[in-house]
Amino acid sequence: MSGQSFNLVLLIVYFAYGLAFFGMGLTLALESERSPALTEARLLRPLAAFGMIHGVHEWLDSYLLQPVSGGIQLPPWVLWLRLGLLVASFCSLLIYGIETLRAQNIKPEISIYVVWGVLIVYGVFILGSAIFTYRVGTTLLVNLYDVLSRYLLAVPGAILAAMALRAEAMSAVSAGKRRVMVFLTWAAIGFGLYGLTQLFVPAIDMFPARLLNSTGFQTFAGFPIQVVRALLAVLITLSLLRATQIVEKDRQLQLLAVQQARLEAMERIQEELSKREALRRELLRHTVRAQEDERSRIARELHDETSQVLTAFSLELATLKTVICDREEVKTMVDRLQSLSKQMSQGLYRLVHDLRPAQLDDLGLISALEYLKDDSVRAGLEVAINIHGKARRLDPVIETVLFRVAQEALHNVVRHAQVGRARISLEFLPQEITLKVEDSGAGFDPVQSFVPPQGWGLAGMRERVESVGGLLSIESKPGIGTVVEVAVPVFDILP
């Protein structure tokens, strides 16, 4: 294999090596930003930083491969930049391993103490060898730091990362995520082997680097150690990527389940609200019926009892007047009593009709509106009534509601509109009846909030209309006038 073809293969290896780790880092960085279920976000970020920084380091190595193979001397700052990226990536990996193991709250075991003991002895040995090499002074400082970063950061960091991922895999088993455990275990194996490959450092005059180095590995195996590292990087990346995909799928299923549960809860709430609305309407309908029945009872009692008493009283006064006609002062008093009796009878008649006009029960809604028209004349209001469609009798409750709305609307015109004319329009449609009361008076702002006792009349009209499944709309502007319109579906039509 020629040097040029070899460099091309090594260039591809470096690029794939960097791409694998950078892709892993980018995937974990995105996962950490969306409430990760794989592990805590603060634990994923160091591992993501390792992947992206180390990927950039390997890409830099691939860029520097051609100048180095051509014998070109690199500027010192480039070497220190490369070393800085290497140290930063391995520090991130070490932080991930330590923080994840700490977060797992693993119970102390002999194996844990053995691992930490071996790492401490190993670190002390490497530091001693590095100090001896530095004092001899036969190795460039940047190369010595490169080897130390691999010995003291990469190897422990990769081993601790493998232990951390294995602990995460055990946690996944406890949570019932066996598929996640499988891929996390493969990632742990990948990091463990990756840590061992970092023992094959660049050859320098330092023990054990002079015996165990990348040059010796290439001589023995026939290919550079970077090939193994690239394959392990691909294994780690694919395993973590697959684990995140499984977790994301589980998260989507959980989200779907939550949304389904929320939808079902909303449907139950909506059903309950519909039942309550139906109950409220039925209660309002019952209230309106009970109210009108009570008005009818009071009106009948006033008409049948009180009116008869007044009539008898008036007849007795007339008899008394004929008996004592020779005394003028007594006659004048009797005349005054007869006048008061007549006024009482007229007031009682109006009161009876206001409570429940007989026309509404006997002749229907149109006759009752005609009574409102005549009653409004006494209040100084001229009312025009327009009937559209084929007039017919309706359900008594609907007729009562429409009559009360018209009555309240005309009373509001008299009290507030400051106008002498109003118009009532009644339209009979096949499955609906509409009532409209219009005036061109003072008007008001319908969106304003009325503080009780203001606004009770409008609220009462709305409640009555809703009790029969109708719709009330009020259109008004100051200085323009007011339109009160009611539309009620009619299903119970009397012949």
Q: pLDDT class for 194, splitting at 50, 70, 90?
A: very high
Distance CA 478, CA 481 (A): 7
Which of the two residues, 385 and 107, has the higher pLDDT score? Answer: 385
pLDDT digits (tens, 9 = 90+) for 420-432: 889 999 999 888 8
pLDDT (0 to 100) of residue 90: 93
Distance CA 186, CA 18 (A): 20
Q: pLDDT class for 110, splitting at 50, 70, 90?
A: low
3-class secondary structure, 109: coil
**301 has pLDDT over 70:** no
Q: Tokens 């601790």 map to which residue?
A: 160
Q: Which residues sit opposite 388 in a β-bridge? A: 427
Give, in degrees to the nearest 5, the angle at Cα 193 between 39 and 115.
75
**492 has pLDDT over 60:** no
Average pLDDT over residues 342-361: 72
Cα Rg, the chain, nearest whole Å: 48
Asked whether 389 and 432 are in contact (CB, 8 A), the reply is no
**246 has pLDDT over 90:** no
Tokens of 335: 């005349």
User: Could you tell me where the beta strands, DSSP code E, fall in 299-388?
Assistant: 382-388
Q: pLDDT class for 419, splitting at 50, 70, 90?
A: confident
Sign of CA dihedral 29, 30, 34, 39: negative
Distance CA 164, CA 92 (A): 14
What are the φ/ψ torsions at residue 381 (nearest 5 degrees)?
-120, 125
pLDDT digits (tens, 9 = 90+) for 21-35: 998 888 888 877 765
pLDDT (0 to 100) of residue 495: 43
SS3 assignment for 127-189: HHHHHHHHHHCCCCHHHHHHHHHHHHHHHHHHHHHHHHHHHHHHHHHHCCCHHHHHHHHHHHH
Sign of CA dihedral 175, 180, 186, 192: negative
pLDDT (0 to 100) of residue 453: 56
Share of the chain above pLDDT 90, in %: 13
Which of the two residues, 453 and 127, has the higher pLDDT score? Answer: 127
Map out the domains of the chain with their CATH numbers: 3-264 (1.20.1070), 364-489 (3.30.565.10)
41 CB-near residues (< 8 Å, 6+ apart): 32, 33, 35
Strands 481-489 and 432-439: antiparallel
Q: Which residues sit opposite 8 in a β-bridge? A: none
259 CB-near residues (< 8 Å, 6+ apart): none
Sign of CA dihedral 253, 255, 258, 260: negative
Q: What is the DSSP string of 288-318?
A: HHHHHHHHHHHHHHIIIIIHHHHHHHHHHHH
Q: What is the DSSP string of 335-381?
A: HHHHHHHHHHHHHHHHHHHHH--HHHHHT-HHHHHHHHHHHHHHTT-
Predicted TM-score (pTM) of the model is: 0.57
Average pLDDT over residues 272-277: 83
Share of the chain above pLDDT 70, in %: 85
Tokens of 124: 């002390």
Give, in degrees to the nearest 5, the angle at Cα 128 between 122 and 131.
140
Q: pLDDT class for 302, splitting at 50, 70, 90?
A: low
- Considering the chain, what is the average pLDDT of its residues? 81
Average pLDDT over residues 341-359: 72
pLDDT (0 to 100) of residue 494: 45
Which of the two residues, 394 and 4, has the higher pLDDT score? Answer: 394
Tokens of 457: 């009349």
Asked whether 399 and 360 are in contact (CB, 8 A), the reply is yes
3-class secondary structure, 200: coil
Sign of CA dihedral 402, 412, 359, 424: negative
Which of the two residues, 451 and 190, has the higher pLDDT score? Answer: 190
pLDDT (0 to 100) of residue 2: 42
Burial class (CB in 10 A: 0-12, 13-18, 19+), 427: middle
Give, in degrees to the nearest 5, the angle at Cα 333 between 331 and 334.
65
pLDDT digits (tens, 9 = 90+) for 196-213: 999 998 888 888 888 888
Asked whether 365 and 402 are in contact (CB, 8 A), the reply is yes
**297 has pLDDT over 90:** no
Distance CA 446, CA 444 (A): 6
Asked whether 76 and 142 are in contact (CB, 8 A), the reply is yes
Which of the two residues, 440 and 191, has the higher pLDDT score? Answer: 191
Asked whether 39 and 79 are in contact (CB, 8 A), the reply is no
Distance CA 228, CA 349 (A): 109
pLDDT (0 to 100) of residue 104: 73
Tokens of 35: 């409430």
218: part of which helix (H) or strand (E)? helix 214-221
pLDDT (0 to 100) of residue 101: 83
Distance CA 288, CA 372 (A): 20
Average pLDDT over residues 210-218: 88
Distance CA 410, CA 423 (A): 9
How distant is the alpha carbon of residue 69 from its chain centre? 60
Distance CA 197, CA 213 (A): 10
Tokens of 424: 């009532």
Q: What is the dihedral of CA 387, 388, 390, 393, to 10 degrees?
A: -50
Based on DSSP, count helices (H) and strands (E) in the chain, helices before strands.
15, 5
Q: pLDDT class for 188, splitting at 50, 70, 90?
A: very high
**133 has pLDDT over 80:** no
